[in-house]
């Protein structure tokens, strides 16, 4: 297991998470919430790049602990989530500015002791544990795939997401470009997109984003960089740098969620 002693425990994220939801107007996606919490807490790149279990997937330790913070706050009744993955403050959550993490943990411990399974109903903690487990299992499958098979899976994912004329074109000397396609919006607008697939553990750096942009300039309207790993803070900033063609980033957590959403 990686050394994680310098990463805040999950309960340290509870109040930053609440405050971020308030700043977002009371609701937000996991991606939005996580990014804002990371910014608010001031985590360093070295902390963000620690993988929870390198042998089972690319989920970072931060993402893992934020998932538990959300779960505890949900059971405490201050936040809730929809089937579409949007988290929001409850009426109770809107009335308070912060929680006492120790009170939240004591409440959860009491609930666990009182918990009685009825008609096979699963406890929230069991459900979250299972969700984390299937994510790790799926990521493990992705990491073991042949590179060409991973490219074909990406091709299928893009087609299922509304892209047309998706081709896998990866070849040496092509600047790391793995394929291209056309994204149709509302049947009226079309964008030529070049994509790159990075199937590995660890983080994609700003330099790799710049290299990809250099390869796509003049060849497409948009760039899409997909990885089973994650992106450093500098890589995220580089992808949306003013004056440069924007590149959309899809990390491992978003990738497995999209595969689940599309039933792939």
Say if residue 20 is in the same domain as residue 129: yes
Task: Find the domain containing 53 and state its range.
Answer: 10-140
What CATH number is associated with residue 181? 3.40.1350.10
One pLDDT digit (tens) per residue for the chain, 264 residues: 444 558 899 999 999 999 999 999 898 888 889 989 999 999 888 888 888 877 766 778 898 899 999 999 999 999 998 866 789 999 999 999 999 999 998 888 888 777 655 444 555 555 556 566 777 788 888 888 888 888 888 988 888 888 888 888 865 555 578 889 998 877 778 889 999 988 877 788 899 999 998 888 888 888 999 998 888 888 888 998 888 888 999 988 889 888 888 887
User: How big is the CA angle at 56 (ends 237 and 233), to the nearest 5 degrees?
Assistant: 10
The residue among 124, 140, 156 that closes a domain is 140
- Pair 109, 136 in one domain: yes
Please identify, among 86, 120, 140, the residue that sits at the C-terminal boundary of a domain.
140
Domain of residue 22, CATH code: 1.10.10
Alpha-helical (H) ranges within the chain are 14-23, 30-41, 45-48, 61-76, 91-95, 101-114, 124-144, 147-160, 206-216, 233-239, 252-261
pTM of the model: 0.62
> Residue 110's CB: how many other CB atoms inside 10 A?
10
Same domain, 134 and 14: yes
């Amino acid at each position: 297991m990686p050394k994680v002693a310098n990463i805040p425990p999950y309960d340290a994220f509870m109040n930053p998470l609440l405050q971020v939801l308030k700043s977002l107007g009371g609701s937000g996606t996991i991606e939005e919430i996580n990014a804002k919490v990371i910014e608010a807490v001031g985590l360093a790149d070295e902390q963000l790049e620690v993988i929870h279990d390198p042998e089972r997937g690319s989920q970072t330790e931060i993402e893992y602990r934020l998932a538990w913070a959300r779960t505890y706050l949900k059971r405490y009744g201050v936040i809730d989530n929809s089937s579409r993955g949007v988290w929001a403050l409850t009426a109770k959550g809107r009335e308070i500015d912060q929680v006492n993490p120790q009170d939240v943990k004591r409440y959860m411990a009491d609930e666990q002791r009182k918990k009685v399974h009825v008609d096979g109903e699963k406890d929230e903690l069991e459900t979250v544990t299972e969700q984390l487990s299937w994510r790790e299992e799926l990521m493990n499958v992705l990491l073991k795939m042949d590179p060409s098979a991973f490219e074909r899976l990406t091709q299928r994912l893009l087609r299922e997401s509304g892209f047309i004329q998706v081709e896998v074109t990866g070849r040496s000397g092509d600047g790391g470009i793995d394929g291209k396609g056309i994204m149709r919006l509302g049947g009226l607008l079309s964008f030529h997109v070049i994509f790159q697939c990075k199937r590995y553990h660890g983080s994609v750096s700003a330099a790799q984003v710049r290299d990809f942009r250099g390869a796509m300039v003049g060849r497409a309207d948009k760039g899409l960089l997909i990885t089973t790993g994650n992106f450093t803070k500098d890589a995220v900033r580089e992808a949306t740098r003013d004056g440069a063609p924007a590149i959309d980033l899809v990390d491992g957590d978003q990738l497995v969620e999209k595969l689940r959403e599309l039933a792939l």
